[in-house]
Amino acid sequence: MKQEKDQQLIALYREAFPKVAKVIHRLGGDLSTAKDLFHDAMIIYLEKERNNTLNLHTSPSNYITGIAKILWLKKMKADTRNTSLGGLEEHLSIPEDFYPDPSSQTERLLHYLKAAGQKCIQLLQAFYYDKWSMQQIAQEFNYKTKRSATVQKYKCLEKVREQVKHSDVYEEAIA
């Protein structure tokens, strides 16, 4: 199952990246910018697919190209109203909180969380980002029951929330 998904991702990459590269090149971007925007567009696409909010009216690679184009325009702070996306823009909304706020405090928090308490972070990511069921999480993370995995989820949330709170208070103090 996972392998199949990986294969699909690679196939999509092969097909979509050259398309995005051509568009970004035409708009004046270089290879590294094209790659960066393509990766963000892929992530947005995959999230929508997982959340069942993908409203696909075209091929996945065209959809991803459309998102990459919007990201480029946002990056350039251009007026998207005057640029034709062929009516695609109605279906291409970008999550509001897609990019982390650039404060050094946020950076530090993310860095810290990556290093600390790996298992808790993984469990929370599986539930809140990958949208696994608690049943699936219990199996993958070796909990006897769904109930004990759920309690663990709240314990992890408590732990991480404490870190976020701490970082938040600090941010206010120096703001």
Partner 1 sequence: MRKQLHDIQLIDQYLLKEMQEDDQLLFQAKMLTSAELKENVRIQQKTYQVIRWLSRQQKKSQLESLHQSLMQEEKFAKEVNAIFK
Name the site residues for partner 1 (rule: CB under 8 A).
Answer: 9-10, 13-14, 17-18, 21-22, 25, 30-31, 34-35, 39-40, 42-43, 46, 97-98, 100, 106, 109-110, 113-114, 121, 124-125, 128-130, 151, 154-155, 157-158, 160-161, 164-165, 168
Taking the least distance from each CB to partner 1, the nearer of 73 and 160 is: 160
CA distance 67 to 73: 10
Tokens of 116: 């600390």
CA distance 127 to 16: 28
Compute the least distance from the CB of residue 58 to partner 1, in Å.
Answer: 21
Taking the least distance from each CB to partner 1, the nearer of 76 and 164 is: 164
Taking the least distance from each CB to partner 1, the nearer of 28 and 79 is: 28
Compute the least distance from the CB of residue 104 to partner 1, in Å.
Answer: 14
Look up tokens 């459309």; give the residue. 66
Taking the least distance from each CB to partner 1, the nearer of 57 and 98 is: 98
Determine how many CB atoms are found less than 10 A away from the CB of residue 5: 10
Taking the least distance from each CB to partner 1, the nearer of 82 and 174 is: 174
Compute the least distance from the CB of residue 164 to partner 1, in Å.
Answer: 5
CA distance 70 to 41: 9
Determine how many CB atoms are found less than 10 A away from the CB of residue 129: 10
Compute the least distance from the CB of residue 7 to partner 1, in Å.
Answer: 12
Residues in the chain, total: 175
Compute the least distance from the CB of residue 79 to partner 1, in Å.
Answer: 26
25 within 8 A of 34, measured Cβ to Cβ? yes
Please give the C-alpha separations between residue 77 and each of 2, 72, 93, 147, 163, in angstroms, as whole numbers: 38, 8, 16, 48, 34
